[in-house]
Every structure is written in structure tokens, then in C-alpha cells.
A and B are shown apart, each in its own frame.
Chain A
Amino acid sequence: EAQLVESGGGLVQPGGSLKLSCAASGFTFSGAAMHWVRQASGKGLEWVGRIRTKPNSYATAYAASVKGRFTISRDDSKDTAYLQMSSLKIEDTAVYYCTTTSGDYYVGFDYWGQGTLVTVSS
């Protein structure tokens, strides 16, 4: 069974940095684009960014709200994706999910992690 497990969340001061991990299992990680989605407490879902696969040059894309501050990477040898967050703001406080689509064609984001909470506060 496919599984995504996020880790690395915690409390960080404004202006600080934090790196989240998303460990994958049960599917061919190297063939899957990986996305990050966040959700502030009591609010809706916000797409953060994604990283494509090696054949697609590991291309990344980001939401305007995080561009220049967040960096997505991946290590296919470890079946893990990362979200490096820098210059953190209070408004970055949220649960961060990693997600992807299974299979060779798009079927929606059918794999989601349980989320990891990032709190930006002084």
C-alpha cells in the first residue's frame, strides 16, 4: 500500500528556516511528481509547489506566496521529497502535506501524507 509520511515540522521564529521531509513507500517514487499543499488552521487548501521527475529535469514550480523563499528537492535514492523553507513568516503557519498522483497518467492527487505542522511564532 502506498504511503507518504511527512516529518520535520515544529516551532520556528519569524525569519527562520525549516526543512520538511516526505518519505514515500509502496509506489515508484522516482516516476512521480511530488507536490506540497498547506492548510492554515481552520482555512482552506493552498498549493505550495511541486517537483517533477528526472526525465522532466526535476523542474520545480512554486506559488507566488512562497517563491524565492521555499525550495523543493528530492532524493530518488531515498524515496524522499523535501521542502526547504526560509525567511519564514507568521502567515506560513500551517499543516503541510505532500501529495502525488499514482500511475502513469493523472488520476488526481490520490496519495496524501498525514501532514506536519509548522508554527512560525516569536
Chain B
Amino acid sequence: DIVMTQSPLSLPVTPGEPASISCRSSQSLLHRDGHNYLDWYLQKPGQSPQVLIYMGSNRASGVPDRFSGSGSGTDFTLKISRVEAEDVGVYYCMQVLQTERTFGQGTKVEIK
């Protein structure tokens, strides 16, 4: 199985400031088709998860452009250019390269 490791696990943020979350995989997620098979999800308090980024860097429909995904191979980053209060919740990366999908442990983002 591919092990996904996120850091930090807790991230206090200040509204208006940038924030970033790291996700590392135990195997490369770069497919021979040139795409990185990694998604980012946000689970807001009391809600089901929602997709933010798919295939490494593609912003999902309706996701604000302050969210961006980058990285390749085994190292990936989710960046929020200017955090807003509504961005609080737990962020997960998930590899979609292997049939058995695996998630990172989650990063809890909260307002300072």
C-alpha cells in the first residue's frame, strides 16, 4: 500500500494570511501519462468531505482560486493564498494511483 504522510497535523492560521500543507507519498504518484494521481479534500466541521484539487493541481469545480495544488512524484503541497474563516476544517490528501486508495492522516486548520 502507498502510505500518505501529511504535515503539519495541526495548523493555526490568521485570516488573510497564506497557509500551506505538505503531503508525501511512500511511492511516486507520477503516472506515465504525465499526471500526478493525488487529490486534496476538505472536511468542514459536521460535513462530508469535498474535493478541492484533483490530479495534483486541477482545481475542482466551484473551488475558490485561493486554493492551489502543486508538486510531483512524492512531494505535494496544498496552498491557500489568503485564508478565510470558512476554510477551517480538516484537509486530507489521497492517492488515486493504486486501486486501494489511501488518505493522509489529515491536517486540522483552525483560526488563531
User: A63 vs B100: C-alpha distance in the bound complex, in angstroms?
Assistant: 6
Whether the pair A112, B48 counts as a contact (CB closer than 8 A) is yes
Contact partner of B48 (CB less than 8 A), chosen from A44, A50, A115, is A115
Whether the pair A107, B60 counts as a contact (CB closer than 8 A) is yes
User: A112 vs B49: C-alpha distance in the bound complex, in angstroms?
Assistant: 7
In the complex, which residue of chain A has the Cβ closest to the Cβ of B53?
A108
- A52-70 interface code vs B (CB 8 A; 1 in, 0 out): 0000000001111000000
A114 at the interface (CB under 8 A from B): yes
Task: Evaluate whether A110 and B105 lie within 8 angstroms (CB atoms) in the complex, with A45-B92, A63-B100 already known.
Answer: no
Within 8 A of B (CB), among A52-91: 61-64
Min CB gap A16→B, angstroms? 25
Residues in B with CB closer than 8 Å to A108 are: 39, 41, 51, 53-55, 60
- A28-58 interface code vs B (CB 8 A; 1 in, 0 out): 0000000101000000111100100000000
Whether the pair B105, A44 counts as a contact (CB closer than 8 A) is yes
In the complex, which residue of chain A has the Cβ closest to the Cβ of B51?
A108
Residues in A with CB closer than 8 Å to B28 are: none
Whether the pair A112, B50 counts as a contact (CB closer than 8 A) is yes
Within 8 A of B (CB), among A101-122: 106-110, 112-115
Whether the pair B99, A45 counts as a contact (CB closer than 8 A) is no
Min CB gap B60→A, angstroms? 5
The contact sample of 26 A-B pairs, CB cut-off 8 A, is A44-B90, A44-B103, A44-B104, A44-B105, A45-B41, A45-B94, A45-B103, A47-B100, A47-B102, A50-B99, A61-B100, A64-B1, A64-B100, A97-B49, A106-B55, A106-B96, A107-B51, A107-B58, A107-B60, A107-B61, A108-B53, A108-B60, A109-B49, A109-B51, A112-B49, A114-B48
List 7 A-B pairs, minimum CB-CB distance, nearest first: A108-B54, A108-B51, A112-B48, A47-B101, A44-B106, A45-B103, A61-B99
